[in-house]
Structure 1
Amino acid sequence: MHPPETRFGAEIEIPAAVRAIAAGRPLTPIWRNVLGGLTYRVGDGYFVKFAPKGTGLPLAREAERLAWVRQYTPVPEVVSTGADETGVWLQTRAIDGWSAVDERWSKEEAVTAIAEGLKQLHHAVPVKECPFDWGVESRLAKSPRDLSDAHQIHRDLGIDEAWRRAENPPPVDRLVVCQGDPCAPNTLLGADGTWIAHVDMASLGVADRWADLAVASWSLGWNYGPGWEDLFFRTYGVEPDQERIAYYRLLWDLGS
């Protein structure tokens, strides 16, 4: 994978476990998420995610899902996982592609690839064989009941009203194996500008397809500006379902 050129500060010390995995190969810092998780490129062939102790980032869960789903759809190959007193890590083999938010792509190319990638994922991975759940009940059980980082439309509801709505989901449209974090950066494109793989699969599991579609379409505005949802839904091959879109965006904002 060739990620967008995102860097975090050189003042962050490279974890000893990451240095050991690199074994003298060049280390390039790629991403630091809001919880403190770190991602590095190792040489040209690998990536390492590191979750410092206390962050709670589910790298072991992601490794398990990647190993299972790889038999059905393109995702990074798990090379190694581990943990010590400082944190947890996950090493994967790089995929020869670029994130959908890389500046090399036109917005139309990126949006089309994101929709096509989810369509292929939802059709390729068998629901009956999937051992992982991302359904409403399991997500609500893990929700922190917090709207502090939510979109303004949800913060204005208040937590009690938001929770009341979350506990009354619409009927399931179609069960699929969902990506679980379908925001634009987690789709990879090949050199020809078409979808080739997904990354960041820690929440992969069986759910209504709108759990993915609602958030993926929402993220287009965050990454490309307004006006791209029509192309997304047209490419996927479905009419926008406003009730399910609203519900699953609220569920996402509840942190579950």
Structure 2
Amino acid sequence: MSDERVISGPPPAGFPIPEAVRLAAGTEAIEGVWLNALGGATFRIGQGADTRYAKWSPGPIIHPEIDLRSEAHRLRWAGSYILVPEVLSFQEHPEGQLLLTAALPGFSAVSDRSKNDQERSAYAVGQGLRQLHDSLPAGSCPFSWDLSSRIASLPISQQSALLADAPPIDAVVCHGDACLPNTQLDANGDFFAHVDLGKLGVADRWADLAIAAWSTEWNYGPGYEQCVYAGYGMDPDEERIAFYRRIWDAT
């Protein structure tokens, strides 16, 4: 089981707010909303129409999976085709990186509001993922989320075994972390937008879809995976689902 699945969540009480985030907020309120397994944190700044989100990656050495400069590039590219958070600024500091984005007026697929109708929400997650895959042009995408780079840190023997087992690729531009918390729904419970596109790149569509469906079990409990596949409009491909869940856990 991956550490990220176990550890990511709201920061604990008293979690320190980086000085760069305090400076960006000025006199506005700051609320910690997310802490990932690699030490990256997200904070909400302000209220109402002026709400922003501040993502912080601690340094001085930035882990490649939470490189916010890379995420800013991906957001700006994807924003030409789909609704994503607007990049307000990117800052490099001796202590880390800071990415400020405008808030979107949606609701997380793991919010209490979304959990009131988990079947509908899971279906909307599938619809949203299909919209992303259909809207972003894989042929001109400058980013990759290819299998070789994902498993590059594993032992050579394990890499070889995984590459030998890899199914043919059905290439699209993938989100890269299509878990429920990264999907926003609207007030009616329909898909609205995606957030946290730091791993966005060309890969097999099932690298996204297998994890999106799996994450319903982590966030809603068993019984909702089929709703994601139905919303996406494809029958489950058990071979690819098993393979990409194996990759997720290995990396």
Q: TM-score, with normalisation over the residues of structure 1?
A: 0.86
% identity of equivalent residues:
45
> Aligned to 1:124, which of 125, 135, 149?
135
1:75 alignment partner in structure 2 = 84
> Aligned to 1:11, which of 6, 11, 14?
14
Q: CA deviation at 1:9?
A: 3.3
1:112 has 2:112 as partner: no
Give the unaligned 5+ runs of structure 1. 1-5, 147-158
- 1:193-220 Cα distance to aligned partner (Å, 9 max, x none): 1111101111101111111111111111
Give 1:97's aligned amino acid: G
1:99 alignment partner in structure 2 = 108
Q: CA deviation at 1:81?
A: 0.6
Which deviates more from structure 2 when the two are superposed, residues 199-208 or residues 10-19?
A: 10-19
> Aligned to 2:168, which of 171, 181, 190?
171
Q: CA deviation at 1:33?
A: 1.7
- 1:81-108 Cα distance to aligned partner (Å, 9 max, x none): 1111111110000000111000112111
Give the unaligned 5+ runs of structure 2. 1-8
Runs of 4+ in 1 over 3 A off after TM superposition: 162-165
- 1:126-167 Cα distance to aligned partner (Å, 9 max, x none): 1112111112223233xx328xxxxxxxxxxxx95x544411
| Structure showing the higher helix proportion among its residues | 2
CA shift in 2, pair 1:98/1:109, >3 Å = same
Distance in 2 (alpha carbons) for counterparts of 1:198 and 1:135: 20
- 1:169-196 Cα distance to aligned partner (Å, 9 max, x none): 1112x21110110011100011111111
1:65 has 2:61 as partner: no
Give 2:131's aligned amino acid: Q
Please give the secondary structure, in 2, of the residue aligned with 1:95. Answer: coil
Distance in 2 (alpha carbons) for counterparts of 1:35 and 1:206: 23
Residues 177, 206 of structure 1: 8 Å contact kept: yes
Q: CA deviation at 1:55?
A: 5.4
Residues 36, 55 of structure 1: 8 Å contact kept: no
Map 1:1-256 onto structure 2 (within 5 A).
Answer: 7-44=10-47, 45-53=51-59, 54=61, 56=63, 57-105=66-114, 106-141=117-152, 144-145=153-154, 163-168=159-164, 169-172=166-169, 174-255=170-251
Distance in 2 (alpha carbons) for counterparts of 1:47 and 1:69: 18
Give 1:8's aligned amino acid: P
Q: TM-score, with normalisation over the residues of structure 2?
A: 0.88
Residues 51, 89 of structure 1: 8 Å contact kept: yes
Cα root mean square deviation, aligned: 1.7
Give 1:133's aligned amino acid: S
